[in-house]
Structure 1
């Protein structure tokens, strides 16, 4: 199964990273977003990544230009997917939005196209019936900052064709990821099964007034020897995703604390434009957050 043309659905932070990395590794990539502002945001991200790869990763000007030449953008779903061998979906982490997207995608995608979801908190089986090709549908999940945290978690559902599963494992390797095959559906895969409890506990400590952001992060960074703590991670993930996850699980579990936390994230961060690293401010201010200061842990 040849994969040469890839459509990335969603021009946000992670969708744009996946698009850039895939194009950098030699694939033709179309970024699809339903809104012009999403396309413009993705183009801005790609300009940032071009600068990053040039200044920090030693990539030549020629390679940057070739990568940019493999990228195109569209708000027309049928046009964006017409040649796609594989779709990587990173639309908002909302079940209804994702179902609607797959129903529309199923109407216009070629029969050959493999559909993959990058959903962090829901399962492939939540959407398989809406794809029109459940045997060619599975998850390929990435971590934020994918060229450094380069894992590609591959997780199917009961109806996923084993050959498609193995082909997506291979594709993950082809775009520079370390494939992580997951053999049974698991909410949160491996990464988020480990990470979400940490981030949830950190938010509970802060929002309930037990301690402050810097103290919580310092505790984790010193004891675990990490470069950032949970609130640095939350800024990297982005406030919209943090809000969506709290809303999703608060609603599913009837957990009022999670719903209250989502409301605070919206009022104190999202509504004030503090989206995290992408906007220059979240729990910290960027590009020089306090936790990156050499004296932060002293």
Structure 2
């Protein structure tokens, strides 16, 4: 039984909204924070869409009213002090910009109660890059989710040398309480477990398509047929959304940067960002 009861999620983008909604769906009171009311209005639409998706995907209990009940456990706020005033746990899911995260945590450390645990959902930054800005490195760690959280329900928990073991254990218990499979990571590793495996795989797929060896659909077919996997790499990229992989590839070696430029020119610049926009490597009906 977790001692975390009240949760605030900073950021209502694709994954931030999923984290907040899944937490509310699991019975917790949630505050969803973002920078202004206009962004939050879009978030409300996104949350309504998640409720419908949970029903359509037959998530246990969703069709029996649980999906709608979850919406009633979410409060929206564009005032950071208000959003975190009662929080036991704050999960940060804001853009992958180190200075922005540091500035946010510096403010958060002054506003949140002393007992509040801070967790970053960053997929590219190590928690030790951020910990000193929090003012409470013993109560800070990483809690990393995969996109489509209700289906791909891993939660990677990674602390720093300063993270209190009791805090680590508490977040592991919380992850389990919201329907995740906790993956404790024993020391810091860029990419955690998931992205340490996934990023080289996606880079290899990008090389095959960008350098003209095979079409994305044929790469996916090969992977699915030969391994029995449910999705190929380009289908996975569409689920993630192309912007995040592009940003990660842009900081790689020269070859990886070349693949990033191919994704940008052929897809992102044309508005093809993945499932969320209705088109990426594939076309989707909304």
TM-score tier after normalising by the smaller chain length? over 0.9
Cross-structure match for 1:274: 272
User: How far 1:44 moved relative to its partner?
Assistant: 2.1
Judging changes above 3 Å, is the alpha-carbon distance between structure 1 residues 36 and 234 closer, same or farther for their aligned structure 2 residues? Answer: farther
TM normalised by structure 1 equals 0.89
Judging changes above 3 Å, is the alpha-carbon distance between structure 1 residues 117 and 212 closer, same or farther for their aligned structure 2 residues? Answer: same
CA distance in 2, matches of 1:136, 1:127: 12
Cross-structure match for 1:39: 40
Judging changes above 3 Å, is the alpha-carbon distance between structure 1 residues 48 and 76 closer, same or farther for their aligned structure 2 residues? Answer: same
Cross-structure match for 1:117: 120
Structure 1 vs Structure 2 CA RMSD: 1.8
Contact 2:138 2:162 in 1 (8 A): yes
Gaps of 5+ in 1: 289-298
Cross-structure match for 1:5: 6
Cross-structure match for 2:235: 232
User: How far 1:37 moved relative to its partner?
Assistant: 4.7
TM normalised by structure 2 equals 0.93
Work out whether 1:76 is the aligned partner of 2:79.
yes
Large movers: runs of 4+ above 4 Å: none
CA distance in 2, matches of 1:263, 1:162: 42
Greater Cα offset, 146-155 or 48-57: 48-57
CA distance in 2, matches of 1:227, 1:119: 26
CA distance in 1, matches of 2:111, 2:265: 38
CA distance in 1, matches of 2:263, 2:98: 20
CA distance in 1, matches of 2:265, 2:130: 31
Judging changes above 3 Å, is the alpha-carbon distance between structure 1 residues 125 and 72 closer, same or farther for their aligned structure 2 residues? Answer: same
Judging changes above 3 Å, is the alpha-carbon distance between structure 1 residues 209 and 38 closer, same or farther for their aligned structure 2 residues? Answer: farther
CA distance in 2, matches of 1:262, 1:78: 38
Greater Cα offset, 267-276 or 216-225: 267-276
Aligned residues: 283
Deviations 1:246-279 (A, max 9, x none): 23x33xxxx2333343344334333332221111
User: How far 1:35 moved relative to its partner?
Assistant: 4.2
CA distance in 1, matches of 2:55, 2:218: 35
Deviations 1:33-66 (A, max 9, x none): 2244532332222111111222331524532232
User: How far 1:168 moved relative to its partner?
Assistant: 0.4
Gaps of 5+ in 2: none
Equivalent in 65, 81, 86 of residue 62 of structure 1: 65
CA distance in 1, matches of 2:108, 2:243: 24
Judging changes above 3 Å, is the alpha-carbon distance between structure 1 residues 79 and 190 closer, same or farther for their aligned structure 2 residues? Answer: same
Work out whether 1:150 is the aligned partner of 2:148.
no
